[in-house]
Amino acid sequence: MFKSVYKNKRVLITGNTGFKGSWLTSWLLELGAKVYGISNNVPTSPSMFEILNLSDKINHFNEDIRNYDKVEKIIRDVKPDFLFHMAAQPLVVTSYLEPLETITSNVIGTTNVLEALRLINHKCSTLIITSDKCYDNVEWVWGYKESDSLGGKDIYSGSKGAAELIFKSYYHSYFKDKAKSNVRIISVRAGNVIGGGDWADYRIVPDCSKAWAKNESVEIRSPDATRPWQHVLEPLSGYLTCAEQLYSNIKLTGESFNFGPKSDYTKSVKDLIKDLSLHWNLKNAPYFIPDSTSEFHEAGLLKLNIDKAHFYLKWQPTLEYDKLIEFTGKWYNNYYNSKIDMLEYTFEQISKYQEIAKSKNLKWTN
């Protein structure tokens, strides 16, 4: 997998205690990497990071990404071969309530990582993980391309658009001259992901698992809204592909890539919930719709065009919709209803994902 590039390499993940960070850590451990992490808390309870006991398997630094001196010292000491920067306040609703926290973590945090890399200047293939929400969402039906305008009508989206601008300006100011800079850098944009192990607020699958674990119906506000659902391993396979190719191909530095599902993968919230509920032995209806709706603006359909990743990286999504549901439903079901070792089970899902990708001859499986 990934030409074995991660074996015995030092890989630093910021935001390693979160949902995506825990899956990425598990996958990198499985690939034989030495994993280091920076996070300032464990964001949920329960959390995948704690369930999998990941703190015992990696070198974890409990630090705030906004503390420049600490960030620089960790990067200087670890000298990572690869860096995945994903520490962020990731929720739109929270960003309305805590704008300063969101902007400082997402924008200043990204700047701190870039500044430390600039000064240390060791060979490091770096991915800046932003979001599909970095684009100016003009609510059109076709997918956004990497060259489309950045923007953001809410604070979270604006912070991710700003992180992209900072990434680009650091690239042009300091990293572009390959004779002077050893830092290789790419920004990656993906949409909402689902999968086992997420307990964040204001997200539909965690809401289902929290309610269904108590045998209650889940409250949903927009049953007919459609979303381009994808499993968390999909963008992570894209990030790992990107970093692997960036390591051997300096020409990719400064680029941005979208990762997302195929464009026909949109299902309504209520269909997703019904399909997921088949993995639970529910006594009640899976969901109910409340009378009042949220006061905050949430963007409508936002799709990503993934042609660039397909063309340059030969990357494409792996899972069909039924497997996405099965992977997600079974993970939670095992967590709540069995006594199996969830780290082993997570490795099992990663192996299964790799097998399916291999059967589709995806390039990264070599």
Ligand X SMILES: NC(=O)c1ccc[n+]([C@@H]2O[C@H](COP(=O)([O-])OP(=O)(O)OC[C@H]3O[C@@H](n4cnc5c(N)ncnc54)[C@H](O)[C@@H]3O)[C@@H](O)[C@H]2O)c1
Contact footprint for ligand X (CB under 6 A): 15-21, 39-41, 43, 64-66, 86-90, 105, 109, 129, 131, 190-193, 200
Dist. CA 63–CA 41, nearest whole Å: 8
CB of 244 to ligand X, least distance (A): 19
CB of 131 to ligand X, least distance (A): 4
* Cβ closest to ligand X, residue 42 vs residue 282: 42
* Cβ closest to ligand X, residue 48 vs residue 218: 48
Which residue's structure tokens are 């994993």? 35
Give me the residue whose beta carbon is nearest to ligand X.
18
256-259 vs 183-190, strand pairing mode: parallel
Torsion angles phi and psi, residue 263, rounded to 5: -65, -20
Dist. CA 110–CA 165, nearest whole Å: 11
Closest by CA to 332, choosing from 188, 173, 218, 186, is 218
CB of 194 to ligand X, least distance (A): 8
Closest by CA to 200, choosing from 94, 294, 99, is 94
CB of 263 to ligand X, least distance (A): 18
CB of 248 to ligand X, least distance (A): 25
* Cβ closest to ligand X, residue 16 vs residue 245: 16
- Find all residues with CB under 8 Å of 18, minimum gap 6, and list them: 39, 43, 49, 86, 87, 90
* Cβ closest to ligand X, residue 80 vs residue 217: 80
* Cβ closest to ligand X, residue 26 vs residue 89: 89
* Cβ closest to ligand X, residue 33 vs residue 163: 163
* Cβ closest to ligand X, residue 90 vs residue 228: 90
Q: ∠ CA 255-12-229 to the nearest 5 degrees?
A: 60
CB of 178 to ligand X, least distance (A): 27
Closest by CA to 36, choosing from 64, 17, 53, is 17
CB of 22 to ligand X, least distance (A): 8
* Cβ closest to ligand X, residue 80 vs residue 90: 90
Dist. CA 107–CA 183, nearest whole Å: 19
Cis amide bond preceding 46, omega within 30: yes
- Find all residues with CB under 8 Å of 26, minimum gap 6, and list them: 52, 54, 343, 346, 347, 350
Which residue's structure tokens are 């420049």? 68
Dist. CA 195–CA 344, nearest whole Å: 16
